A and B are shown apart, each in its own frame.
Chain A
Amino acid sequence: MRVILRTKPRKKPFIPIEAETIIPQNFLRKNDIRVYEGNKERRLEEIFYITAEGPAVSPDQVEIVLSGETGNIKRVGEYMNAGRIVVEGDIGMHCGNFMSAGEIIIKGNADAWLGREMRGGTIRCEGNAGHYCAAGYRGEKRGMRGGLVDVMGSAGDFTAEYLSGGEVRIHGDCGDLPGVEMRGGTLTIGGHCHRPCGNMTGGTCMVFGRVYDLLPTFRGAGNEEREYRGQRCQMMLYKGDTANRGKGSLLVKKNLNRTGTD
């Protein structure tokens, strides 16, 4: 079954829509689906032109396609556990919060908290992601725990904060403090970043671009070879963060390494 949701023009287009109900399992049951526009509850058809094609007997046979002005729609795919969501343009905050299975494809950019505390499944974002991509909620001790977040563009600050499991790949640059408080899982950064892995206690972070302002509490621990996009790369290995327990691994591509701590 393919459900196409195309946004209708709105009087106040800057007011975000909260749409955690947009997940494949809800369309299977054909429930009366509601979303919030500011403090007003709306029926789905007040916000979208809806077209449904074909049958489905289980949520993994449901594909939802979102198109139009979707950059202000939040929480799409929250708690998703099967099926597929394709966003033709940009998507708002918290896309794929807590998702455990299924696939989300975003053809544009994703706003902050993409894949927050995700447990499983795949999110692929073809544009850029905002701050706190694949991170945890405020005060939460564990961020993303499983699955894959694959961002073809760049990501903002605090990417993969509290990463505890699963894999995060940012093929472009990251902002400040990617992998901060990281405790497990793998973070791969294809481009440059600032101050990776502050206070990390576990997990592995690989940076194939330049690291700016490497923190002074990472201890050099030799060299390793890693593969990125079909190329073998020589990497410098750092153990850290020694301000904390120092049990994480940060690998930085050679010749593009440490700058700015002095």
Chain B
Amino acid sequence: MKIEDVVCPFCGCLCDDLVVEVEGTRIVSVENGCTLANEKFMGDHRLKTPIRREGKGWKETTYDEAIRETAQILCDADRPLLYGWSGTHGEAQSIGIHLAEILGALVDNTSTVCHGPSILAIQEVGHPGCTLGQVKNRADVVVYWGTNPIDAHPRHMSRYTTFADGFFLKDAFRDRKLIVVDVRKSESANIADEFVRIQPGGDYAVLSALRAIVQGKRSIIPPSVAGVSREQLFRVADLFLSAKFGAIFFGLGLTMSRGKSKNIRNAIELTEELNRHTKFIISPMRGHWNVYGSNEVFTWITGYPYAVDFARGIAFYNPGETTSVDVLSRKECDACLVVASDPGAHFPKACAEHLARIPTVQIDPHVNATTHLSRIQIPVAVTGIDAEGTAYRMDGVPIRTRMLFKGNYPSDTAVLEQLYAIVKEIKGP
């Protein structure tokens, strides 16, 4: 059976035009998806049953036993951490936060290692943004700063920018100017009209210089800023100023390099400055599928988008203090539940070592690097394949994903609901 308009469950683009052919509980083909999507749909590394570590090996166990043991581990802990959430749907994320509240746990999502600094900057100066549909139909100047969409978000350019014709841009490839800013010549830079190569860690200075130029203070700019010549800075600023509608997309090259949230703040302030002259927006290239949704759900319930500490019964938030990487590297937490993420692959070594030291339980469909650090793993259905739920695209648009077939795995929601009920029973009224 061919199913149309399927939402891809991999990156923050949430492409919703895939055609997937299903035979029983098996996917046989995927059309319109990029290589990442094909691998996500067709990949076959799913665990068959829950497993628990025994001695040096693994033993299969039942869902009931695995969930009950997980509940006991979390209830016994003085500083449990519930991490991940970005690969699952909003309904499951919501249960996770309520679980953190009754446990007095820290709950954090993958923003902690991607766009957390962008959120900090937005909290300081706001966010001049728009939907990707607006960009597609209007943007005549597109900037990719510290991001390489051809590799990381392969269909971003073809659905929304360089290769996507829009209502006001009938021949997008020729009508849109593409500027790529990066420390190395990436594949995306190869097709740019202007490639700005910055010395590593020099983004803040270049953004400050562009702000000054846009304000008309050209005389102050030295001959070169972080490896970028004054002439190129003037040229880029003129391109910005000549835009009818400009869009800056930025990635981890900006959020996770020297200056972190201050780089983003500077980029937002540049965007605000440009809005005195023309229409300009700025938007983060969210990577992990529903990471935007995790920020939304966290914020509805706790008031904060990530790194929320319920240790004292109320929500406290302070990235740098309550973020998973910091908490794990300081060896603070004494138990961890990982849901829909792979910190074993993404976190620094010291954090992975601590995860291996404490009782770590993973709820995830796949065997991954975190499996090797865990005591228990509970396999679940993949949202968008054999589970349904709501996810948010990188521009904040919620999209309902469908179940393509009914498989044999419970969804994240089902497992977390059961876990919540047992924790509630152990904790008492």
Contacts and interface: CB of A to CB of B under 8 A. Distances in A.
Interface of A: 12, 14-16, 18, 36-40, 93, 112-113, 131-132, 137-139, 141, 158, 176-177, 180, 195, 198-199, 213, 215-217, 219, 241-244, 261-262
A52 B330 CA distance: 32
Given A39-B104, A39-B312, A131 B320 contact: yes
Contact of B318 (A14, A137, A199, A243): A137
Contact of A216 (B221, B258, B334): B221
A243 B217 CA distance: 9
Contact of B334 (A12, A18, A244): A12
A138 B79 contact: no
B265 A38 contact: no
B324 to A, nearest CB: 15
Given A138-B319, A262-B224, A177 B259 contact: yes
A218 B225 CA distance: 13
B223 interface: yes
A199 B265 contact: yes
Given A12-B334, A14-B331, A38-B79, A217 B208 contact: yes
B153 interface: no
Contacts of A215: 204-205, 208
B258 A217 contact: no
Interface of B: 77-80, 103-105, 120, 123-124, 204-205, 207-209, 211-212, 215, 217, 220-226, 258-259, 262, 265-266, 269, 310-312, 317-321, 330-332, 334
8 contacts: A39-B105, A39-B310, A40-B78, A138-B317, A139-B123, A195-B204, A216-B220, A261-B225
A262 B262 contact: no
Contact of B312 (A36, A131, A158, A199): A36
B321 A112 contact: yes
Given A14-B330, A199-B269, A242-B217, 9 more contacts: A15-B78, A36-B312, A39-B105, A138-B318, A195-B204, A216-B220, A217-B211, A217-B212, A261-B226
A39 B316 CA distance: 12
Contacts, number: 114
A240 to B, nearest CB: 9
B206 to A, nearest CB: 9
Contacts of B311: 18, 36, 38-39
A201 B78 CA distance: 44
A10 to B, nearest CB: 10
Contacts of B332: 14-16, 38
B222 A216 contact: yes
A14 B321 CA distance: 14
A195 B260 CA distance: 13
A60 B4 CA distance: 73
10 closest A-B pairs (Cβ-Cβ)? A39-B104, A38-B78, A38-B79, A139-B123, A243-B211, A243-B208, A262-B224, A14-B331, A39-B311, A217-B208
Contacts of B223: 262
Contacts of A177: 204, 259, 262
Contact of A262 (B78, B225, B269): B225
A217 B318 contact: no
Contacts of A137: 318
Given A195-B205, A215-B208, A39 B120 contact: no
A262 B318 contact: no
A121 B312 CA distance: 28
Nearest to A180: B262
Contacts of A141: 124
B259 A176 contact: yes
A199 B204 CA distance: 10
Contact of A39 (B79, B123, B225, B318): B79
Contacts of B79: 12, 15, 38-39
Contacts of B209: 216-217, 243
Contacts of A216: 205, 208-209, 212, 220-222, 225
A242 B205 CA distance: 12
Contacts of A93: 321
Contacts of A198: 204, 208, 259, 262, 266
A81 B226 CA distance: 46
Q: Point out which of B266, B318, B330, B331 has the most chain A C-beta atoms below 10 A from its C-beta.
A: B318
B265 to A, nearest CB: 7
Contacts of B330: 14, 16
Contact of A15 (B208, B259, B266, B334): B334
A21 to B, nearest CB: 12
Contacts of B265: 199
A134 B223 CA distance: 35
Contacts of B215: 242-243
Q: Point out which of A14, A39, A141, A242 has the most chain B C-beta atoms below 10 A from its C-beta.
A: A39
A200 to B, nearest CB: 11
Contact of B320 (A16, A39, A132): A132
Nearest to A36: B312
A69 to B, nearest CB: 14
Q: Point out which of A38, A195, A261 has the most chain B C-beta atoms below 10 A from its C-beta.
A: A38
B222 A112 contact: no
A241 B262 CA distance: 14
B97 to A, nearest CB: 15
A242 B212 contact: yes
Given A16-B332, A131-B320, A216-B205, A39 B220 contact: no
A199 B265 CA distance: 10
Q: Point out which of A112, A137, A215, A216 has the most chain B C-beta atoms below 10 A from its C-beta.
A: A216
B378 to A, nearest CB: 23
